[in-house]
């Protein structure tokens, strides 16, 4: 294993340069470029069909781009076959070798090497033991994959990928097939392993929480184009487009206007600053926690209560706004609302975009 | 389970028992004298030896056919896929006549082969070809479903771990197929041993050269030597049973070894 310190630095481990890919006339990636820093944990986040898995497979060498290049540590790897790329790939459905034991699965990549490069038997055994410790499966060496739970199988798959000391670890929706609790545990545990090994890692997910919680940086993809790359804070606080914003969580869209550097909704000022260089007409996107219930006189707009329920000390109220679209407002208030009651809503935050921008 | 065993007994075991009973009419000494008859011995060797070789060729080639039919898409794939079953449906005599006319010294293929000095018709090679023809569908159909079920990601996983294509095929793809390949082998072998119709037309049926055991049984029957026929049949039965049992045991072992699916 590599110490975290000798991997972390601002050097670029992988460069995706102008990569395009078309499957059966449908374009999947459009001239996509992305730099991956050595030692970072990068999430490729996007809805299904955004091209994120294709991008991962192209980096691995399992698919080939129609144009563009993949550069590993300054060296062009575009034409390099998958066997020589030294990547560790973890599949959503584990893809373990069912007729091999856990230990043989993990040792597979080392045993597959040609004799000159193959480590001695004792060393392979030793390395398998260390990896089993790392993935907390020490007693499972002689089990078969069919005797393991989903979470355990995925840990074996990860150990198998790490065994060959890959230049980059690539994970394709690694927790997608697992249930919610196992998923949460594995998430935290993957972060721990990453912090310990400093392994450059890219993982694909369509789960915003997973991407935001786990990664150093998030790359948001939509329709084969890179929308934004940044730290979880950056993409949440400064989304570059309504698409990114909407993909990262629920938001209510409200028509607004820019006036004197501020944003007004229905003629009433909000605490939101108008974006620079925007036209007069704006769209304001408001998260559920950026709306406060208030008296109708002080409100930016009035909505009708549809239903309400409580979770862990908070109240979530579904209301129907003036445009008849339902949305959810969060409130710590203990005041109860009855269905059909009009409530005033005050906007206390939000993300303004020029109305022409998509 | 009781009913199943009863029906199995009525359908399979009862006729076999009757056969053995009939043969025992001649007494052990009678069976022994049939078994040591050089003509019978030679026919048995030809039958089992050629069936074994034919099953070997059928399973090897059949696995490749199954692989191509499952993994590649080409124009006419469905037609070829359907054609694989034809030897099942064809009356064996028709197959025999067709093969004989193709491979006879004046036939389409036979004339070409005889020019380079290979005689197929009326030799054991002819028997081999007929047996491969009827055995191939068994090999293809037992392996094909497993190849279809193989997960492509497994092969991709192997490749990302640095394994060459050959290593992937020999260590990852083939082992899970072994039980099915053995089943195909057993079926093709059994079919070859029992085959009569398609072989007699191409084999020429020369005693000690290309005469198979089932034909010898028919000859004995036509001479009204029922006990002699039953004796040969019993010997075939014992050898077949022992062989199939052995294959089954290997299969059970390979399931334990590779079958953790």
B contacts of A72 (beta carbons < 8 Å) = none
Find, among A339, A267, A337, A349, the residue nearest to A301 by Cα.
Answer: A267
Residue A312, pLDDT > 80, answer no
B153 contacts A91? CB cut-off 8 A:
yes
Which among B159, B175, B259 has the least Cβ separation from residue A83?
B159
Q: Which CATH number fits domain B28-258: 2.60.40.10, 1.10.1740.10, 3.40.50.300, 1.10.3720.10?
A: 1.10.3720.10
What is the per-residue pLDDT across B58-106, written as a single tens digit (0 to 9) for each?
Answer: 999 999 999 999 999 999 999 999 999 988 888 888 888 888 888 888 8
B contacts of A109 (beta carbons < 8 Å) = 161-163
- Cα within 13 Å of Cα(A358), Cβ side: 2
Band of pLDDT at residue B14, cut at 50, 70 and 90: confident
What is the per-residue pLDDT across A339-348, written as a single tens digit (0 to 9) for each?
Answer: 888 888 899 9
Q: Is any Cβ of chain B less than 8 angstroms from the Cβ of A82?
A: yes
Band of pLDDT at residue A334, cut at 50, 70 and 90: low
Find, among B148, B146, B135, the residue nearest to B258 by Cα.
Answer: B146
Residue with token string 């990601």: B153
The overall average pLDDT reported for chain B is 89
Tokens encoding B109: 């293929």
H or E stretch including A76? strand A75-76
Find, among B54, B43, B13, the residue nearest to B190 by Cα.
Answer: B54
Q: Is any Cβ of chain A less than 8 angstroms from the Cβ of B151?
A: yes
Residue A311, pLDDT > 90, answer no
B contacts of A53 (beta carbons < 8 Å) = none
- Listing DSSP states for B81-101 in one string gives HHHTTHHHHS-HHHHHHHHHH
What is the per-residue pLDDT across A130-145, written as a single tens digit (0 to 9) for each?
Answer: 999 999 999 999 999 9
A91 contacts B158? CB cut-off 8 A:
no
CB < 8 Å from A in window 157-186 of B: 157-164, 167, 171-172, 175-176
First-to-final CA distance of chain A: 45
Whether the CA torsion B186, B189, B194, B198 is positive or negative: it is: positive
What is the average pLDDT across A76-91?
A: 93
Answer for the pair B134, B214: CB distance below 8 angstroms, yes or no. Answer: no
Winning range, highest mean pLDDT, from A201-215, A257-271, A332-346, B17-31: A201-215
Q: Looking at residue A106, what is its pLDDT?
A: 96
Residue A2, pLDDT > 80, answer no
B172 contacts A97? CB cut-off 8 A:
yes
Q: Looking at residue B261, what is its pLDDT?
A: 52
Tokens encoding A51: 């091209």
Which among A62, A112, A146 has the least Cβ separation from residue B260?
A146
Q: Is any Cβ of chain A less than 8 angstroms from the Cβ of B256?
A: no
Distance between CA atoms of A159 and A140, rounded to whole angstroms?
13
A contacts of B180 (beta carbons < 8 Å) = none
B contacts of A108 (beta carbons < 8 Å) = 158, 161, 163, 171
Find, among B166, B132, B145, B151, the residue nearest to B66 by Cα.
Answer: B145
Distance between CA atoms of A96 and A90, rounded to whole angstroms?
10
Size of interface A-B (CB pairs under 8 A): 74
Which among B151, B162, B167 has the least Cβ separation from residue A95?
B151
Q: Over pLDDT 90: what percentage of chain A?
A: 55
A125 to chain B, closest Cα gap in Å: 17
B248 to chain A, closest Cα gap in Å: 19
B171 contacts A112? CB cut-off 8 A:
yes
Residue scoring higher pLDDT (B243 or A333): B243
Please give the distance of CA A351 from its chain centroid, rounded to a whole number.
21
Please give the distance of CA B72 from its chain centroid, rounded to a whole number.
26
Q: What's the residue count for chain A?
A: 358
- Please enumerate in sequence order all residues whose Cβ is within 8 A of that of A199, keeping only pairs 6 or more positions apart, or say none: A2, A7, A39, A162, A166, A168, A169, A193
H or E stretch including A79? none
A109 contacts B163? CB cut-off 8 A:
yes
* Mutation site, B146, B162, B164, interface A, largest A CB count within 10 A: B162
- Confirm whether pTM is higher than 0.90: no
B contacts of A93 (beta carbons < 8 Å) = 151, 153
Q: Looking at residue B107, what is its pLDDT?
A: 84
Band of pLDDT at residue A301, cut at 50, 70 and 90: confident
Q: Looking at residue A339, what is its pLDDT?
A: 83
Band of pLDDT at residue B145, cut at 50, 70 and 90: very high
A86 contacts B260? CB cut-off 8 A:
no
Q: Looking at residue A46, what is its pLDDT?
A: 92
Q: Are strands A201-205 and A41-45 parallel, antiparallel or unpaired?
A: parallel
Neighbours of A35 (CB within 10 A): 15
Distance between CA atoms of B41 and B34, rounded to whole angstroms?
9
Q: Over pLDDT 90: what percentage of chain B?
A: 41
CA dihedral A271, A276, A278, A281 (to 10 degrees): 10
Band of pLDDT at residue A55, cut at 50, 70 and 90: very high
Residue A168, pLDDT > 90, answer yes
Find, among A231, A177, A228, the residue nearest to A207 by Cα.
Answer: A177
Answer for the pair B243, B49: CB distance below 8 angstroms, yes or no. Answer: no
Residue scoring higher pLDDT (A294 or A155): A155
B157 contacts A60? CB cut-off 8 A:
no
What is the average pLDDT across B40-56?
A: 94
Distance between CA atoms of B115 and B94, rounded to whole angstroms?
26
What is the average pLDDT across B37-49?
A: 92
- Please enumerate in sequence order all residues whose Cβ is within 8 A of that of B154, keeping only pairs 6 or more positions apart, or say none: A95, A97, B172, B173
Find, among A214, A195, A284, the residue nearest to A4 by Cα.
Answer: A195
What is the average pLDDT across A257-268?
A: 88
B contacts of A89 (beta carbons < 8 Å) = 156-157, 160
The overall average pLDDT reported for chain A is 88
Residue B231, pLDDT > 50, answer yes
What is the average pLDDT across A260-277?
A: 86
Band of pLDDT at residue A7, cut at 50, 70 and 90: very low
What is the average pLDDT across B110-138?
A: 88
Residue A3, pLDDT > 50, answer no
Residue B220, pLDDT > 50, answer yes
Whether the CA torsion B93, B99, B102, B105 is positive or negative: it is: negative
A263 to chain B, closest Cα gap in Å: 52
- Please enumerate in sequence order all residues whose Cβ is within 8 A of that of A74, keeping only pairs 6 or more positions apart, or say none: A12
**What is the phi/psi pair of residue A82, to 5°?**
-55, -35
What is the per-residue pLDDT across A195-221, written as a single tens digit (0 to 9) for each?
Answer: 988 999 999 999 999 999 999 999 999
Q: Looking at residue B202, what is its pLDDT?
A: 87
What is the per-residue pLDDT across B148-196, written as a single tens digit (0 to 9) for each?
Answer: 988 889 999 999 999 999 999 999 999 989 989 999 999 999 999 989 8
B contacts of A95 (beta carbons < 8 Å) = 151, 153-154, 156-157
Distance between CA atoms of A336 and B157, rounded to whole angstroms?
55
Answer for the pair B104, B179: CB distance below 8 angstroms, yes or no. Answer: no
Q: Which residue of A has its CA nearest to B153?
A: A95
B173 to chain A, closest Cα gap in Å: 9
B contacts of A85 (beta carbons < 8 Å) = 160
What is the average pLDDT across A97-125?
A: 94
Residue with token string 């679209």: A325
Distance between CA atoms of A177 and A159, rounded to whole angstroms?
18
H or E stretch including A42? strand A41-45
Residue B119, pLDDT > 90, answer no
Q: What is the DSSP letter of A120?
A: P
Whether the CA torsion A51, A53, A59, A60 is positive or negative: it is: negative
Residue A148, pLDDT > 90, answer yes
Q: What is the ipTM of this complex?
A: 0.82
């Amino acid at each position: 294993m590599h110490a975290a310190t000798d991997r972390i630095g601002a050097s670029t481990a992988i460069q995706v340069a102008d990569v395009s890919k078309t499957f059966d006339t449908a374009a999947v990636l459009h001239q996509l470029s992305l730099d991956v820093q050595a030692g970072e944990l990068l999430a490729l986040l996007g809805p299904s069909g955004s091209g994120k898995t294709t991008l991962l497979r192209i980096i691995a060498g399992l698919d080939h781009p129609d144009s563009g290049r993949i550069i590993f540590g300054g060296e062009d790897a575009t034409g390099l076959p998958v066997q020589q790329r030294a990547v560790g790939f973890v599949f959503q459905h584990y893809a373990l070798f069912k007729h091999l034991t856990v230990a043989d699965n993990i040792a597979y990549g080392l045993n597959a090497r040609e004799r000159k490069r193959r480590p001695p038997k004792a060393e392979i055994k030793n390395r398998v033991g260390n990896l089993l410790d790392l993935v907390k499966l020490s007693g499972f060496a002689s089990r078969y994959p069919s005797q393991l739970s989903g979470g355990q199988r995925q840990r074996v798959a990860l150990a198998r990928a790490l065994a060959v000391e890959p230049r980059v670890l690539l994970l394709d929706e690694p927790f997608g097939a697992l249930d919610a609790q196992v998923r949460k545990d594995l998430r935290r545990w993957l972060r721990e392993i990453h912090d310990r090994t400093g392994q450059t890692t890219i993982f694909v997910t369509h789960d915003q929480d997973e991407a935001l919680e786990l990664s150093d940086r998030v790359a948001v993809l939509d329709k084969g184009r890179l929308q934004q790359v940044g730290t979880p804070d950056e993409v949440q606080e400064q989304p570059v487009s309504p698409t990114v914003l909407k993909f990262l969580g629920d938001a209510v869209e409200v028509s607004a206007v820019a006036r004197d550097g501020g944003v007004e909704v229905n003629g009433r000022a909000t605490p939101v600053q108008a974006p620079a260089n925007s036209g007069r007409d704006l769209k304001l996107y408001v998260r559920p926690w950026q709306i406060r219930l208030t008296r109708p006189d002080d409100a930016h707009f009035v909505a009708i209560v549809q239903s309400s329920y409580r979770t862990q000390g908070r109240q979530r109220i579904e209301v129907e706004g003036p445009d008849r679209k339902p949305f959810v407002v969060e409130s710590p208030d203990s005041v109860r609302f009855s269905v059909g009651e009009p409530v005033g809503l005050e906007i206390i935050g939000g993300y303004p975009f020029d109305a022409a921008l998509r | 389970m009781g009913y199943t065993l009863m029906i199995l007994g009525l359908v399979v075991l009862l006729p076999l028992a009757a056969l053995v009973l009939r043969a025992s009419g001649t007494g052990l000494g009678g069976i022994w004298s049939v078994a040591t008859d050089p003509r019978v011995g030679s026919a048995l060797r030809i039958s089992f030896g050629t069936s074994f070789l034919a099953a070997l060729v059928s399973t090897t080639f059949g696995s490749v056919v199954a692989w191509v039919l499952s993994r590649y898409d080409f124009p006419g794939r469905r037609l070829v896929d359907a054609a694989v079953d034809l030897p099942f449906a064809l009356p064996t005599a028709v197959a025999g006549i067709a093969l004989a006319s193709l491979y006879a010294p004046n036939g389409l293929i036979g004339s070409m082969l005889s020019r380079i000095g290979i005689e197929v018709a009326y030799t054991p090679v002819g028997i081999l070809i007929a047996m491969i023809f009827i055995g191939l569908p068994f090999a293809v159909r037992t392996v094909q479903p497993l190849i279809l079920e193989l997960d492509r990601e497994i092969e991709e996983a192997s490749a990302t771990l640095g394994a060459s294509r050959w290593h992937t095929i020999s260590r990852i793809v083939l082992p899970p197929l072994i039980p099915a390949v053995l089943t195909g082998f057993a079926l093709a072998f059994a079919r070859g041993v029992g085959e009569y119709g398609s072989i007699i037309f191409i084999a020429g049926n020369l005693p000690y050269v290309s005469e198979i055991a089932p034909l010898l049984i028919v000859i004995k029957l036509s001479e009204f030597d029922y006990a002699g026929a039953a004796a040969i049949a019993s010997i075939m039965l014992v050898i077949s049973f022992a062989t199939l049992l052995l294959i089954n045991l290997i299969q059970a072992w390979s399931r334990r070894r590779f079958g953790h699916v």
